A and B are shown apart, each in its own frame.
Chain A
Amino acid sequence: MEERQTENRRMFRRVIRRMVFANRGRLLVILLALGAGAAVTAALLNLEVDAKRRITSEFRSFGANVLIVPGPEAAAADSRAKETFDAAVYDQIPKHNGRDPVEKAALLYGVARASVESPPGNSSVKSGEPIVIVGYRYYGSDLSDFFGSAKVLEATALIPKDESEASKLSETLKRQTATGGPGSLGMAGCLAGEKLAVRLKIGAGQWLHLKANSLEAFCRIASVRSTGGPEDSQLFLGLDVAGRLLEKEGRLSTVAVRVPGDASRVNGFVHDLQASFTALRITPVRQFTENEAKLYGKISGVLTATVFLVLILTALCVMAAMTNIAAERKNDVGLMKAIGGSVGRVLRIFLAEAALLGLAAGLIGAATGMALSIGLGKAVFGVASEPRLVVYPVSVVLTVVVAILAAYPLRRLVNIRPASVFRGEE
């Protein structure tokens, strides 16, 4: 009994082997159809999983989405606290939200009078024009992106062009300090907005004289930037210098934060921050937080829908092609039945063949697809997409299922009469 079973199994395997390799052309066609399906499935699934995360991180180019400003009761507690708060807050903001890094900028706003220093050291008494100066400190990956997707119009290295220029300037500063002139805070580099640069007629590399209250500072324009936002008429300089100039050392007007993630994660972050800084007001920038969620929904909707539509139709299409191929097996079925094969057995042989082909095509195709999606991810996002290992078995299993389903119409062939097949009748 057992011997017969072993014998049966051996025969079964032999029949299948013969069937698979009997017709090379057919084999190639089947592997091509199934393999293409598997490759597309794997590539699209991998891209889909990866793209969603990448799209969320693309939203970072919108800049800050959470602002921290003084709360209403801060003003009453401390007159100096009016419109500013302690700079220590900046350092206490967590650097990560989950896995993703948080970007942040500490900002101190004030008004100073600016006049152009040219050539340096020739500062006669000028009243200057009032401008908004912004002291900033930034933690993150791209300063220009964070402040309104700024386009740098011109830039220069921060070190003064020639030695004499710098020494002349420091001479002036020393002299002024010695003669009891207004307190000087030395030199700094700064970033000018486009409108400000046009208005004051200055460019990168030139010196600006800033005066606020009784203090003054010199700054050299490191770059001129354009954002189309309020930054265009502001002058950005180091937080320390600005703090001293405005006599608000250790104080901040605003902390701008870019919190990564979807709306619920941003709101969670805001909630946690609000709990730890009760005196401050933490407000999500609704223009971005709300719309990001909405846009993300649309984008991932269109992506998911297209990918799944393509996957389903690809499966159907592969199935139709396979069925077409299977239908020509009439002779084989007729022969098997003529030599005494039972319906169940014949069907089993064909399904086993289909599964085997599906597995082979799936293994090769899905691997190709994964490799493809890594390259595609690089083409779209500039970063190779990480292969998700779960995608591979899923694609292989899907391919096997499609192959088996495609062989299923053979059931119809089981009803055929061997005699009519051999006579060549349809």
Chain B
Amino acid sequence: MFLRLVADNFARRPRRKLLTAAALSLGMAVATAALSVSLDVGDRLAKEFRSLGANLVVTPEADSLPLEIGGVDYRPATLGAFLPEADLPKIKTVFWRNNIMALAPVLEVEAQVSRASQKASPLSPHRAVVIGTWADHGLPLKDGSEFVTGIAKTNPWWKTEGRWFSDDAIECVVGTRWAEENGVKAGDTVSVSADGRSWMALRVSGVLTSGGAEDDAVIVPLRIAQRLAARPGQYRKLYVSALSKPEDDFARRDPKTMNPDELERWSCSPYVSSIAYSIRQVLPGSEVRVIRRVAEGEGRILTRVEMLLWLVTLAALLASGLAVGASSAASVIERRTEIGLMKALGAGSATVGFLLAIEQLLLALLGGGAGYALGLLLARFLGSRIFGEPPAPSLLVLGVVLVLAAGVTLAGSAMPLKRAANYDPAPILRGE
């Protein structure tokens, strides 16, 4: 009998129920879309922030002080310590390997550079900074796969006119100002030499605009710089670009002062400092530093934006909750006659309340489910328009939305139901 009453009610007044369900599903769609976007936005924006380049720098621990002015290290290549290139694949074995988006080792040498002439002797050689690095290097990993990375990935704002050198060719890329001053363009040849006696001719594959000191330099494959510096298989600095979570107060603590539980929690969160710590573990003799200029700015902005979106979500939840509550309140108010009739026929307040609550819950599940689907579509649309990739549907959101739908419909109907319980059937049935 109970079920029949419920079923009958749905069948007899489909339009009315449809309206309430529509209000519900729209409200829940708002909630779903807002929740999906804000759950996802941190990761998405963190990825976007990687276009700012490396946030970690690895240097040899036992290094002498670099004499770096305006981005150029003026130490001779004979001074200071170096790190072995052969260790680099180990970086992709750390716990946070999937967060390491790109890396590029760098070796700077001061060398004689000149525009090559047709004759054997180079034209007016002068000293310039030669930067050795990877452009688009395939780093073979232990599991047999290859991690393709290089400076073009760690510093995505570097623009090359022409193309990057390929790492095994005898090629180079020249900085735009150096190119201008020396009248060199892509396709020409430049000669480099460490001592001014034995020259190496490099084909210029492109001209680089970085907006920094590199514009005055010549960028060569790491291998060639190693030969110029007589440091085979070594580099001086490694830039790492890692996806990280904005640092909070906990992350800023010194890991040395933590107890084992805290240390575990700390190293299991992708804070930039814990990623640095894990890289330090696999590269012996290295020092890993967080480039705070990039990491701090990123962290600050990400925290703000995430908070902002959570607020928007909260507001959306609030508004949709109230509107849905109002809608279900209205649907109870309009059924006064029915309630009066039921009570006149001998139904207790509890039975009536239970019947109506079950109806509302059923509606909430239907409306909430439909709203979730609609909201997911909207979130997908938003995600792919802004980040080029839709957010992954989350079961958590479905759960939250259904609970929310049930909660607000019940809360919305609670007040009119309570009043309905006190109804005296007689005046209602008389139509008063």
Residues of A bordering B, CB below 8 Å: 23, 25-26, 29-30, 32-33, 36-37, 39-40, 43-44, 47, 51, 54-55, 58-59, 61-63, 69, 72, 109, 111, 129-132, 148-151, 195-196, 199, 226-230, 232-234, 253-254, 283-291, 294-295, 298-299, 301-303, 305-307, 309-310, 313-314, 316-318, 320-321, 323-325, 327-328, 376, 379-381, 426
Cβ–Cβ contact B333 & A29, under 8 A: yes
Contact with A along B176-216 (1 / 0, CB 8 A): 01000100000000000000000000000000011110000
Distance in angstroms between the alpha carbons of A195 and B212 in the assembled complex: 23
In the complex, the answer to whether A325 meets B330 with C-beta atoms within 8 Å is yes
A306 → chain B closest CB, angstroms: 5
A75 to chain B, nearest CB (A): 11
Which residues of B315-342 are within 8 A (CB) of A? 315-316, 318-320, 322-327, 329-331, 333-334
A292 and B192 alpha carbons, distance in the complex (Å):
37
- Cβ–Cβ < 8 Å partners of B124 in chain A: none
The answer, among A23, A305, A316, A327, for a CB contact under 8 Å with B26, is A316
Across the interface, which residues of B come within 8 angstroms of A426, CB to CB?
Answer: 13
Instruction: Give the nearest-CB partner of B320 in chain A.
Output: A317
With A and B bound together, what is the CA distance between A380 and B323 in angstroms? 26
Question: Which of B65-73, B98-106, B143-151, B227-235 lies at the binding interface?
Answer: B65-73
Cross-chain contact of B304 among A286, A307, A380 (Cβ < 8 A): A380
7 residue pairs of the A-B complex, CB under 8 angstroms, read A55-B304, A59-B297, A61-B300, A62-B297, A149-B297, A295-B49, A313-B33
Is chain A's binding surface mostly helix, strand, loop or mixed? helix
Report which of B56, B211, B325, B326 forms a contact with A284, defined as CB distance below 8 A: B211
Q: Taking the complex as formed, is B48 at the interface, i.e. its CB lies under 8 A from any CB of chain A?
A: yes
Specify which of A29, A39, A313 is in contact with B29 (CB 8 Å cutoff). A313
Instruction: With CB as the reference atom, state the residue of chain A lying closest to B292.
Output: A149
Pick from A29, A40, A285, A307: contact of B326, CB under 8 Å: A29
Q: B301 to A58, Cβ gap below 8 A? A: yes
Q: Does B263 touch A at the CB level, under 8 Å?
A: no
Q: Mask for B388-412, Cβ within 8 A of A = 1, else 0?
A: 0000000000000000000000000
Write out the residue numbers on chain B whose beta carbons fall within 8 Å of the beta carbon of A317.
Answer: 23, 26-27, 30, 319-320, 323-324
Select which of A37, A40, A287, A321 is within 8 A of B157 by beta carbon: A287
Measured between beta carbons, the chain B residues less than 8 angstroms from A324 are 16, 19-20, 23, 327, 330-331
Seed contacts A37-B323, A229-B293, A317-B320; 4 additional CB < 8 Å A-B pairs? A286-B210, A286-B212, A295-B51, A301-B385
> Do A299 and B301 touch (CB < 8 A)?
yes
B290 at the interface (CB under 8 A from A): yes
What is the bound-complex CA distance between A43 and B290, given in angstroms? Answer: 38
State in angstroms the CA–CA spacing of A379 and B324 once bound together: 28
Contacts of A290 in B (CB 8 A): 157
Question: Once bound together, how far apart are the Cα atoms of A69 and B5, in whole Å?
Answer: 84
CA distance A195 to B80 in the complex (A): 14
The 9 closest A-B CB pairs, nearest first, are A286-B211, A320-B23, A149-B296, A33-B326, A36-B322, A321-B327, A313-B30, A40-B319, A228-B291
A29 touches B330 (CB 8 A): yes
Report B298-323 CB contacts with A as 1/0, cut-off 8 Å: 00110011011101100110111011
Contacts of B330 in A (CB 8 A): 26, 29, 321, 324-325, 328
How distant is the Cα of A238 from the Cα of B28 in the complex, in angstroms?
60
A302 to B379, CA, bound (A): 11
Interface positions, chain B 282-300, Cβ under 8 Å from A, are 289-297, 300
Q: CB-CB < 8 A to A299: which residues of B?
A: 45, 301, 305
Identify which of B49, B51, B210, B294 gathers the most chain A CB atoms within 10 Å of its CB: B294
CB within 8 Å of A: which B35-90 residues: 37-38, 41, 45, 48-49, 51-53, 56-57, 64-71, 74
Quote the shortest CB–CB distance from A344 to chain B (angstroms).
25
Please report the C-alpha to C-alpha distance between residue A376 and residue B308 in the assembled complex, in whole angstroms.
9
Let me know if B323 and A321 touch, CB within 8 A: yes
Residues of chain A within 8 A of B419, CB atoms compared: 25
Considering the complex, give the chain A residue whose CB is closest to the CB of B337.
Answer: A424
Is the Cβ of A233 less than 8 Å from the Cβ of B385? Answer: no
Interface contact B304-A58, CB-CB below 8 Å = yes
Complex alpha-carbon distance, A191 and B16, angstroms: 73
Assess the B69–A109 pair: CB atoms within 8 A. yes
Task: Give A30 to B155 CA distance when docked, in angstroms.
Answer: 56
**B326, A30: Cβ atoms closer than 8 Å:** yes
**Interchain CB contact under 8 A, A328 and B334:** yes
Report whether B325 and A32 are in contact in the complex, using a CB–CB cutoff of 8 Å.
Answer: yes
Cross-chain contact of A320 among B19, B157, B315 (Cβ < 8 A) = B19
Residues of A close to B415: CB separation below 8 A: 25
| Chain B residues whose CB sits within 8 angstroms of the CB of A129 once the complex forms | 64-65
Does B111 reach chain A (CB closer than 8 Å)?
Answer: no
Write out the residue numbers on chain B whose beta carbons fall within 8 Å of the beta carbon of A294.
Answer: 48, 51
CB < 8 Å neighbour of A295 from B20, B48, B323: B48
Bound CA–CA A234/B155 (angstroms): 24
Q: What's the minimum C-beta distance from A358 to chain B, rounded to whole angstroms? A: 14
Q: Tell me, in angstroms, the Cα distance from A199 to B330 when the chains sit together.
A: 75
Give which listed residue, A228, A230, A291, contacts B66 with CB less than 8 A. Answer: A230
Q: By the criterion CB–CB under 8 Å, are A37 and B319 in contact? A: yes
How close is B239's CB to chain A, nearest CB, in angstroms? 11
Q: How far is the CB of A196 from chain B (nearest CB, A)?
A: 6
Q: Using A299-B301, A317-B26 as known contacts, say yes or no to A148 and B292 having CB atoms under 8 A apart.
A: yes
Q: A59-B301, A306-B34 are in contact. Are A111 and B67 (CB under 8 A)?
A: yes
State in angstroms the CA–CA spacing of A129 and B64 once bound together: 10
- Chain A nearest Cβ from B254, distance in angstroms: 11
- B65 CB contact (under 8 Å) in A55, A196, A287, A309: A196
**Residue of B with least CB distance to A36:** B322
Residues of B within 8 A of A316 (CB): 26
Give the distance in Å from the alpha carbon of A115 to the alpha carbon of B378 in the complex.
Answer: 64
Within the complex, which residue of A62, A289, A302 is in contact with B37, where a contact is CB–CB below 8 Å? A302
Among B53, B74, B211, the one with the most A-chain Cβ atoms within 10 Å of its Cβ is: B211
Report whether B30 and A314 are in contact in the complex, using a CB–CB cutoff of 8 Å. Answer: yes
User: A58-B304, A381-B304 in contact; A298/B16 too (CB < 8 A)?
Assistant: no
In the bound complex, CA of A317 to CA of B34 (Å)? 15
